[in-house]
Amino acid sequence: MESTTEKNIATFTHLSLLTQYFIPFGNYIFPIILWSTKKEESEFVDHHGKQVLNFQLSLLLYSLVLIMIAIPSFLISAFRNVSFESLVHHNDITLSNFNLEDNIALLTVGLICVLIFGLLKVAEFFLIIYASIKTSNGEKYSYPITIPFIK
């Protein structure tokens, strides 16, 4: 049976992920601080600290992959019809003969990546709240779609 202090620290470890909306990298800094203070003393806090950090690292990895797909697909579709010869001589970019039909596949891939990224961020918010509620009730919670980087 976990003590109230352990439940509170584990719950605040989950809730500290919400600091990402106010403080850059707060979703990494504050959970690490909370987790490292009690990880040796409590298996409950250690479990939840690892879950929080693994979840954030997994989301970072997924986001980077989506960005690495979306940005090139938008750039390739935008600059496919740019004449770089005129760019060097006239210092301006003209999109001549831009045809949406030729670029629809790349634009669709880019838009799907942006949509998946948005859905990940919405899911992240609600999963943080759900995990906090479960943790405050003394249950061990594991986030879905999480890669176990820290074991």
Does residue 145 lie within any of the structural domains?
no
Q: Mean pLDDT in runs of 10 for the chain (151 residues)? A: 86 93 91 91 92 95 95 81 57 57 81 95 95 93 92 85
First-to-final CA distance of the chain: 22
Residue whose entry in the numeric block shows the structure tokens 């943080």 = 128
Does residue 110 lie within any of the structural domains?
yes
Q: Determine phi and psi for 67, rounding to 5 degrees.
A: -65, -40
Does residue 52 lie within any of the structural domains?
yes
Q: Indicate yes or no: pTM above 0.85.
A: no
Does residue 143 lie within any of the structural domains?
no
Using DSSP, state whether 97 is helix, strand or coil: coil
Does residue 107 lie within any of the structural domains?
yes
CA 73/CA 120 separation, integer angstroms = 20
Number of domains in the chain: 1
- In degrees to the nearest 10, what's the CA dihedral of 58, 39, 32, 30? 120
Domain containing 90 equals 4-136
